[in-house]
Each structure stands twice: as C-alpha cells, then as structure tokens.
Amino acid sequence: MLYDVEQIANLTKVSKVTIYRKLKLNEVKIYIITKQGKSYLDEHGLHVISELLNVITDDTSGLNSKDTEQAITLEEQELSHDTSCNNGIITGLKDEVKFLRGLLEKHSSKGEIEFLHNQLEEKDRQLESKDKLLENMQILVKNSQSKRENDIPMLEAHFQELDEKIVNIKREMEERKENFEADENKGFFKFFKRSK
C-alpha cells in the first residue's frame, strides 16, 4: 500500500512539515514513489519514518511541557524558514527521484525480470533432468557391475570347458596320429613280408 504525506502525518501523529523533513533523509528517499507529481511512501518507508520518529520522541520524552512547547515553537520557526527553501529542494528531489526511477525501470523492467525469472525456472528444469539422468546412470553402472560379477564365474566356467575340450581334442589327435602311424607301420611290414 502507498501512503501520501497527509496519511503518514495522521498515522504518526506529527505535522506534515515534519514528514516532509523526514522525506529528505537518505534512509527514506529510497522508498519514495512519485505518481502524477505526488510523493508516496510504501510500507517499508512508513516503517522507517515511524522508527525515526520513535527515536525522536524517545529522546524528547524526558522534557517537561514548557521545554516541549519551546522545542515545538523552535521547530515551527525552523520549518517556516525552511519551507521556502524546501519547495525548491523538494522539486529538485522529485526530479532526481523521477530520473532514478526511470533508470531503474529502463534497466530492470518487469519484462526483463520476468525473462530472468523464466530463465531461472528453465535452469531448474534442466537441473532436475540432469539429476534424473545422473540417477539413471548410477543405476546402470550398478547393474553392469552386478552383471560383471555374475559374468565372471560364467566366463571362468566357459574357459574351463574350452580348456577341457582342447585337452580332449589334443588327446584325440594324438590317438589318431598313433593309430595312423600304427596302421602305416602294419602296411609297411605287410609289404615287406609279401615281397620276401
């Protein structure tokens, strides 16, 4: 919600002049919003002014009524003198605020903020999909490791079978070779026996 000077003065129970003086403070300037040439404060600005006024009222709470009246009279005199000067200052400050707001709007428009917000959401979605991919990869790695652990005994058994087959084939080859040589020797001796 936005508050104009009169509303702030009513809420804080101080004069409008006091509020105008507080609007000059750097702590409050950042919360001033100008619409159609009129200055408004947002909630944070109202809170800052309230805190500043509470500090002042706490500092003056030890004064008696005569001192308080004198302080008010001095403040009014000071304000009446400052009012003429303040009008020029306020106008200058309003122009400065308009300029700064224009810069702020130019460099951080709602469209740009929405664009950046959409970009952040897109990055969040990308991170989620990357997390899912990473999780799936971890599952695949675990599965492949367990498969390897199961495959190793199977491969060992297969190689053992192959070794046994190779040994059997060697033995058969040697037996055939021996049988062939024995058959040749028989045939050679038969040939000699016939020729005698």
Tens of pLDDT along 5-34?
A: 889 889 888 888 888 888 888 888 888 888
Q: Give the single-character DSSP code of 168.
A: H
pTM for this model (two decimals): 0.30
Stretch 46-56: mean pLDDT:
79
Give the domain ranges of the chain: 3-107
32: Cβ–Cβ under 8 A, 6 or more apart, which residues? 23, 39, 40, 41, 45, 97
Residue 173 has what pLDDT? 93
Of the candidates 45, 43, 2, the one whose C-alpha atom is nearest the C-alpha of residue 27 is 45
Tens of pLDDT along 61-91?
A: 444 455 555 555 555 555 555 555 556 666 6
